[in-house]
Structures are given as C-alpha cells and as structure tokens.
Structure 1
Amino acid sequence: MSISAGNHTFGPESGRLLVNTTRTGLGAKAGHDLTIEVTRWRGDATVDTADPAGSSVTVEADADSLEVRQGTGGVKPLTSSDHAEIEKTIREKILHVRKHPTIMFRSTRVEGTAESFRVEGDLTIVGVTQPVAVQCSVSEGRVRGSATIVQTRWGIRPYSALLGALKLSDEVEVQFDVGLVPKQ
C-alpha cells in the first residue's frame, strides 16, 4: 500500500518520533543509551506522487515533551527518579525550553521515488537553524525514516558527567514511523 497524493497530517496519534542517544568516554559503562520519545508534535505533508520534488513536509515539536522511554546498558537499571532527572536536564540544560519551546523542521527539497526518498530541510533547535537530511521509506502505508543530528552544529554541548568521563555522543539519531492522515 502506498501513500496517496494530497495534503496529510501526522503526529503522536498516528506514529512515533524518537531520539536515540549513545554514550562515550571512559565512564561509558556507568551510563545508559537512551530512547527518548517526543510526545507532543504535529506534522503536515504535501505529497506529489507523480513528482516527489513537488512534495513538502513540516514538523513542529514541543521541546518540553521529551520523555525517556528506555535506558539500556549501564551498571544498574534506570529508576523512575532517574527518568525524571534526565528529562529535567534535557528541558533545562540542553534544550532550554523556556527560551526555545519549539523544535521545527521545514523541508527544502524532496528527491527519490514514492517508496524511497530523501528529504532535505532546515531544522531549528534552541533557536539555531541548520540543514539536515532525512532518509525515508514507505511500506505498508507507513512512512519510516531517520536522520543523524550532530548536537554541536546547533551549539548544544552534549551532556557529560563524572568530570567528563561519561558523555553522550555528539551524534543522536532521530527516528520516526508514521501513518499519514488525509486532511479533511
């Protein structure tokens, strides 16, 4: 089943938007690789199946809606208070959500086929806009894709602890799996 041409919406009701982090440094064994879900977001897509270059997409996410879903690795499992502390750190020290409440992506170019395509666009995080490329595919009526985000390109210093011995990698992976809902 493919995606139909026209205008569509998508969001948490039709899919998931995840951020995956990995750890590095001498103390990496003490930390966790995290799966973080964006819980409040919405997207709009214009799909031109005859000419993918005529397609476009925008996604707006609430920077205050990131929730830790899973922590793998580490010396001990993450507790609910660990989840709360990580989420607070993300909101206050990494994304500065009071000053920058929204994360925004706007496509500038779409190329490929209706089944496999690349979306280039501008991603704004913490008030800084940088280009990013998203690899996408369509199967079973769903759009799936991912992009690698290098935090320092947006002026974000990757989280570190234990006097820098434990650090999150500069690269995080953003993944999505959504169903497009035709606009009424």
Structure 2
Amino acid sequence: MELTEGRLEIRTGVAGAASRAGHRLTLRVERWSATVELDGDEPVAVQFHADLTSLKVQSGSGGVTPLTPVDKQVIARNAAKTLEASSYPQVVFRGEVQPGYLVAGELTIHGVSKPLRAGIDVADGRARASIPVLQSDFGIKPYSLMLGQLRVADEVIVDLDVAVPADLI
C-alpha cells in the first residue's frame, strides 16, 4: 500500500563559537514515497525513499537577520553540496513493523547503511515520527563557515507525518 499524503522535513541546529549568528533550519523534502506491506490487515514491513535533490528551505529561526528568498536558495544549494545529492540522491529506509508501532530496519544515506529503530506515533489518522540522525554516522561532514566557527550541528531531526488509512490503525 502506497502512502502519498504527508510531509517529510529535516530540522537542523547550529554549533560552533559563532552559533548565535546561524539559523536553525527546517528543510522540506518535496519528493518522497512510502510503502507499507500488509499481511492481511496488519502492517509488517515499510519502505521509504526520499529524493535529496528536492530539498527546499521552509523556514529558519535565529540568526542575525531573517532569511530572504535568495538566502533560502543558497542554503538549499549548500545542503545539496554537503549531502552530495548529485552522487547520492536517495535516502532509503527498509524495515519491519514490530509490536507497539516500532519499526526496525536499515537506513541508507550518502551510500552508508546503518541500523535504525524508531517509534511511530499513530493517532487521528496520522503516523508521525521524529528521528534523530547524526550526519557523521553516514560519512557526511556538516556544512560550516568561518573555519568551523559557525556550522550545522551534527545531529539533525527527521520529522515524518503521513496520513494513514483507517484500516491500518
């Protein structure tokens, strides 16, 4: 069963001595897909694909000045470069659904695969998860400026919010 309605966002923090000058960003992945495999009416497996070439800056808080539309375009390009999205455009998760709305499987980012276990909150026809991911675990060096005095924090939070058919809840 294909799940098509929802959103996938990545929240970043800032680090470094000049972190007060940086923006905490919310990036939206515009192209993604999620599939749930069923055994009867029970979800047993999930597969998720995200296209990193579709990143868009939704918002930014903090920083010295508000983000302009041009800033958002520059940030999206820098994110694509940092993630090497032209070489590694897909993020993929494949896993099994376990009792208690847990998923366990393998997350592949930047050509590196790591095990992932995450809890899913299911309520009001939605499945939601907030999953911390360390960029360095996947061979990604977080974006930095000013010789590292201002940089994106290593940990990012991946937020997923997907509409779920009533028969799956």
1:120 and 2:104 matched: yes
- TM-score w.r.t. the length of structure 2 is 0.91
Matched, 1:148 2:141: no
Secondary structure of the residue aligned to 1:61 is strand
**Structure 2: gaps (5+ residues):** none
> Residue 8 of structure 2 corresponds to which residue in structure 1?
17
CA shift, 1:180, in A, is: 2.8
After TM superposition, give the deviation of residue 111 of structure 1 in Å.
2.3
Retained in 2: the 8 A contact 1:132–1:149?
no
Q: Which amino acid aligns with 2:132?
A: T
CA deviation map 1:90-122 (0-9, x unaligned): 112x22122112111111x33233xxx221121
CA shift, 1:27, in A, is: 0.5
Paired position in structure 1 for 2:86: 98
> How many residues were matched structurally?
166
Moved over 4 A (4+): 47-52
- C-alpha deviation, 1:24, in angstroms: 1.3
Question: How far apart in 1 are the matches of 2:50 and 2:12?
Answer: 18
Q: Which residue pairs with 2:153 in the alignment? A: 169
Q: Which runs of 5+ in 1 are unaligned?
A: 1-7
- 1:158 aligned residue: 142
2:50 corresponding residue in structure 1: 61
Q: Alignment identity in percent?
A: 38
One-letter code of the match for 1:112? P
Q: Residue 90 of structure 1 aligns to a residue in which SS?
A: helix
Whole-angstrom distance in 1 between the partners of 2:163 and 2:23: 30
* Contact 1:120-1:134 within 8 A present in 2 as well: yes
Distance in 2 (alpha carbons) for counterparts of 1:47 and 1:142: 17
Q: What SS does the aligned partner of 2:120 have?
A: strand
Q: Partners in 1 of 2:56 and 2:125 — Cα distance?
A: 27
Of 14, 30, 55, 1:39 maps to: 30
Q: Secondary structure at the match of 1:91?
A: helix
Q: Does the 8 Å contact 1:135/1:145 carry over to 2?
A: yes
State the secondary structure of the residue aligned to 2:17: coil
Question: For 2:98, which of 83, 86, 111 is the aligned residue?
Answer: 111
Counterpart contact for 1:9–1:180, Cα < 8 Å: no
Question: TM (normalized to structure 1)?
Answer: 0.84
CA contact (8 A) 2:46 2:97 kept: no
Partner of 1:3: none
